[in-house]
Amino acid sequence: MSDEVWSRAEIESPCVKLCTIHPETRLCLGCARSIDEIAGWGRMSPEERRRVMDELPAREAAPKRRRGGRAARRES
């Protein structure tokens, strides 16, 4: 019997365990991936995951504009 501890190679992931999908952008507020990207992450090739990882910094998971307050009332 081996004394080695069982281990596996973990899949690189941008997940930060803040898993909430924004209703307008349909992107995760934590990692900025889409639902399809999150669901298929384990089946993606390393190249596909790298492509998504490279795109993430340019994504905005939530719009920057404010939803209420005085600015919203002036727009009406």
> Would you give per-residue pLDDT tens digits along the chain (76 residues)?
555 665 556 678 999 999 999 999 999 999 999 999 999 999 999 999 999 999 999 999 998 876 666 665 666 5
- What residues contact 20, with CB distance under 8 A and at least 6 apart? 28, 29, 30
pLDDT at 69: 64
pLDDT at 36: 96
CB 63 within 8 Å of CB 72: no
Kindly report the pTM of this predicted structure.
Answer: 0.71
**In DSSP terms, which residues pair with 21 in a beta bridge?**
28
pLDDT at 64: 82
Q: What secondary structure, in 3-state letters, does 5-45 show?
A: CCCCCCCCCCCCCCCCECCCCCEECCCCCEHHHHHHHHHCC
